Amino acid sequence: MLRRCLEMLAPALAAPGSVVVDATLGLGGHSEALLTSFPSARLVAVDRDPAALELAGKRLAPFGDRATLVHAVYDEIPDVLARLGIPKVQGVLFDLGVSSMQLDEAGRGFAYAQDAPLDMRMDQSTGISAAEVLNTYPAGELVRILRTYGEEKFARKIVEAVVRERQKEPFTTSARLVELIRAALPQAAKRTGGNPAKRTFQALRIEVNGELAVLERAIPAAVGALAVGGRIAVLSYHSLEDRLVKQVFAAGAASTAPPGLPVVPEQYQPRLKLLTRGAELPTAEEVAENRRAAPARLRGAERIREDPA
């Protein structure tokens, strides 16, 4: 959905001196497209993964000082912009979830289709791994994580099996976890919905990286960094992310006036205008070209008013 993201951001990035933030740099594909499509814009791109920053840096080197790459988590965008002396920006792009590089690099443990160490940290220099979560969290906490972050109906069955197995030997690799999940689920549950491990892996990844807590801070912070006329586009890949983005955008697009006022004062007027009716979905052609695009949901908004003083 890159082309649609560029179209959505275009009205805000045409003017010379505009600044756009790529909140999820990854391998730099979106950043490269932004710099190419908007030749008068400056890019600030952040990523928590040092390996991604190194690879994207090489890709974006031809753009010189138009691109500034920063090692940070995307809820730190206000601090990053403050350090760079940028008061407001004209565009922000989020492409949430795990990057293709992280999925494809076997040693990271994100993918359930190949055996690897159970790590799942986007920044491997900090935090706890998925193996540590599985081996040390109380059973009740693991059930909560699988239900909340993975929307896994059989969370309790899976966790009971995990607790039995970790007492025999701690978990270290993804293949053993996938095998355990297959054995724990009822036959009927394994016949539909793709790989039965995908919900558990999603839940562990979100927990390890604190993704929803970070996103809950990051979207309002990004909206706050937008100048009037600035635009934000967010690609999410599961319902928990999309719901959070929807709530922030809807709140910004609503009047905060007490009910019954005959005239709504300026300070109560909406500060956002929604650019999508609901969430936009990828086309069949996009999904055929890249199956990982299938769950993508795009929402956008434009900043139409400053916050009240």
29 is in an annotated binding site: yes
Q: How many C-beta atoms lie closer than 10 Å to residue 272's C-beta?
A: 22
pLDDT value, residue 100:
55
176 Cβ contact list (under 8 Å, min separation 6): 165
Tens-digit pLDDT profile for residues 207-232:
999 999 999 999 999 999 999 999 99
Residues in the chain predicted with pLDDT less than 50, given as ranges, are none
pLDDT value, residue 124:
84
pLDDT value, residue 78:
97
pLDDT value, residue 102:
52
pLDDT value, residue 31:
97
267 is in an annotated binding site: no
Superfamily of domain 108-209 in the CATH hierarchy: Putative methyltransferase TM0872, insert domain (1.10.150.170)
d(CA 38, CA 94): 17
Helix (H) or strand (E) holding 231: strand 226-236
109 is in an annotated binding site: no
Q: How far is CA 196 from the centre of its chain?
A: 22
Where do you find CATH 1.10.150.170 in the chain? 108-209
pLDDT value, residue 109:
57
64 is in an annotated binding site: no
Where do you find CATH 3.40.50.150 in the chain? 2-95+211-303
pLDDT value, residue 103:
54
Specify the CATH class of 2-95+211-303 in words.
Answer: alpha beta
Name 89's bridge partners.
226
Tell whether the torsion through CA atoms of 226, 214, 56 and 301 is positive or negative.
negative
DSSP string, 74-127: GGGHHHHHHHHT---EEEEEEE-S--HHHHH-GGG---TTS--BS---SSTTSS
Tens-digit pLDDT profile for residues 266-303:
788 899 999 999 999 988 888 888 887 888 999 999 99
pLDDT value, residue 262:
80
74 is in an annotated binding site: yes
Name 21's bridge partners.
44, 92
47 is in an annotated binding site: yes
102 is in an annotated binding site: yes
